[in-house]
Amino acid sequence: MADRLPRYRPPARWFHWTVAVVVLLMIPAGLIMTREGLARPVQDALYLFHKNMGVLLVPVILARIAYRLTHKPPPLPASIPGWQRGAARLSHALLYILLVVMPISGFIRVRAGGFPIELLDRLGVGPWLAKSERVADIAQGIHAVGAVTLIAVLAIHVAAAAQHALIRRDGVWGRMWPVRGG
C-alpha cells in the first residue's frame, strides 16, 4: 500500500539529494573552519571548499526553486494529521528561505570584508560590492543566525524523515528516496 503512494518526480528527488549532500558537508566545514587554533592549511582548505561550493550551489538552488514553483509536490497520504501537514509546509518553506539567505549573506560577508572567492576571481568576476566593515559585520550576523536556524530546522526535518522511514513506514520516506522500494 505504502509503495503505491505518489512520489516526487525524479528532478525533485535529484535536486533534493544534491543540495542535501552539499549542505550537509558545508555546515560542518563552516563550523570547523571558524574554530580557534586550527592548523592554517586545514582552515584554508575548509574556507576554499565552503566559499566556492556555496557559490557553485547557487544556480542549483535557483533551478530547484524554479522547478518547485512550477511543479506541485505529490499529495501526502491521508493518514498524516493536519498539524503535521502544517509543520511540514512551514519547515520546507523555511528550508527554501534559508537556502537563499545563506549563500547571499555568506557572499556579502566575504566580499564586503574584502576577501577572495577563488572560483569567481579566476573567472574574472568583479567583487560586486565595495569593502565595508559594517556591511560585512551585518552579513556575518545574518549568516550566523541563519546557520543556527538551519541546523535546528534540519534536525527536526531529518528526525521526521527517520520517523517516517523507520517507525511509521507510511511511504513518506519513499516519496523522496531516489530509488524505488525505499
Residues that bind ligand HEM (CB under 6 A): 16, 19-20, 23-24, 26-27, 30-31, 34, 50-51, 54-55, 57, 68, 73, 76, 88, 92, 95-96, 99, 102-103, 106-107, 109-110, 117, 140, 143-144, 147, 150, 154, 157-158, 161, 172-173, 175-176
Question: Coil, strand, or helix at residue 108?
Answer: helix
Minimum CB distance to ligand HEM, residue 35 (Å): 10
Residues 6+ apart with CB under 8 A from 138: none
H or E, element range at 23: helix 10-33
- Residue 81, judged by CB atoms within 10 A of its CB (0-12, 13-18, 19+), counts as exposed
Minimum CB distance to ligand HEM, residue 42 (Å): 15
Closest to ligand HEM by CB, 41 or 154:
154
Do the beta carbons of residue 55 and residue 107 sit within 8 Å?
yes
Minimum CB distance to ligand HEM, residue 113 (Å): 8
Closest to ligand HEM by CB, 68 or 168:
68
Closest to ligand HEM by CB, 2 or 144:
144
A 10 A CB-CB count for 26 gives 22
Minimum CB distance to ligand HEM, residue 65 (Å): 9
CA distance 15 to 67: 9
A 10 A CB-CB count for 54 gives 22
Minimum CB distance to ligand HEM, residue 172 (Å): 5
Closest to ligand HEM by CB, 14 or 96:
96
